[in-house]
A and B are shown apart, each in its own frame.
Chain A
């Protein structure tokens, strides 16, 4: 059994669904492989953390007032008006979104720290876990920063949007938020699920692109 084979069995092993023969083989591998032992330990920690989390995280449904509120609440918004998300390569965006997925696992704790102490505390929080999560947290920081810049660039211009464009944007932001909510909740229960992370990353990217488009539109009107 190699490491890939072993890691593919982790979920079922933790779920008690692996047969005794496979469990024995896996345990033998774990005994000889520190990297896999560490990975399994991390997974256990994530699951334990996730199980203590609330099972629902409600997104804002009324998006435009939400956008305004975030600005008015004085979150540490950069004054950068031009956001070059289009120049961010896909691997980076993917990591950003994957980082977002990891963030969600610890949503309640992280969110409090994120919005009260700023992003540095987020990285410190993750530092207690391992370096890989710190990297993901850094990516998440970047993602959130870009999103904030986009929202900021919309400023108070949103009333200038053509009604038809506003309807399309609002409707599709709701679709996206709903999809993000689904994935977030699922990730709380399945923190190591790379497929869920992939879907969440796609959804985040589409949200960023839609926000970017909206921001561009508003600055042109």
Chain B
């Protein structure tokens, strides 16, 4: 299995130090807030990088060759940097450094809420600590990273790489590969095709897909659920320790199933019954083929229960 939780970038981690300083995001003082509304010309297929430590980031693709930013900078924020250079647009909420905070006796920094329109074909790179990220109608590749904020993606983006420690990730529809990794956050992916990788430690995951060429799930204690079908020679791998695995596939799927669990139970809607292996093998094993058996489905748990549902 090749799935892995991508490590957060150094920048995001550095931000977490500053995050200690941030309080009361929901109780911002209107007098201290600063409104922003700026627009710049930008390439239709350029890279847009957005950094905002806390608050919210809403990114919307549109059919203009412009990037527009509007919203509110929270109390204590230093400024908004918004620069376009060649193919790259950078939008960054800049916070005062520690020396400035001491000098100006800044005792709180509040989150900033930004709504950003970008050319639909842009590539997008967003980093936050606690800010929620929402992306819609962007067709380029997405790199989205948060520590505790939620990540929501709508539309038909290219590949989506998304990581959060405790935030939830929801991806609704994707043309390209999807990778979603969390520690405790939940993952929900809908209408994915082609390839996906989902990894959590304790977060539950659900993926609804079609024509899956390669799907990989892994968790330790989170429950995993997949519903959909595979391409003729597609592969689906689901590995869990104590969490459950539920798999719902079409009745006419042509696949080679290999299911093992050490102490969990196996229920099979296709009818074949799991067998107990010898003392030196896994506790239960279920191997069977439907149709010509072209696709491959591999499921492995330690104590988690497995259920295969025939649709």
Contact = CB atoms under 8 A, between A and B. Distances in A.
Interface string A142-186: 000000000000000000001011001001100110010011001
B183 A90 contact: no
B184 interface: yes
B4 interface: yes
Contacts of A213: 7-8, 13, 165
Contact of A199 (B2, B13, B147, B239): B239
Interface stretch (B58-66, B133-141, B153-161, B279-287): B279-287
Which of A164, A191, A198, A206 has the most chain B CB within a 10 Å cutoff? A206
* Most A C-beta atoms less than 10 A away, residue of B13, B183, B280, B303: B280
B5 A206 contact: yes
Interface residues of B, number: 40
Interface string A7-25: 0001110110100000000
A221 B183 contact: no
Interface residues of A, number: 43
Contact of B300 (A43, A195, A205, A210): A195
B1 interface: yes
A176 B202 CA distance: 10
A209 B2 CA distance: 14
Contacts of A162: 16, 19-20
A168 B185 CA distance: 11
A93 B7 CA distance: 15
Contact of B302 (A17, A47, A172, A199): A199
B220 interface: yes
Interface in A1-60: 10-12, 14-15, 17, 43, 47
Contacts of A12: 277-278, 281
A11 B277 contact: yes
Nearest to B239: A202
Given A14-B278, A86-B7, A198 B20 contact: no
A168 B184 CA distance: 8
A79 interface: no
Given A182-B241, A216-B8, A220-B10, A199 B277 contact: no
Nearest to A9: B278
Nearest to A169: B183
Interface string A191-212: 1110110110011011001101
B208 interface: no
A134 interface: no
Interface string B247-283: 0000000000000101000000000000001111110
Nearest to A213: B7
Closest 6 CB pairs of A and B: A15-B278, A11-B280, A12-B278, A11-B278, A179-B241, A11-B281
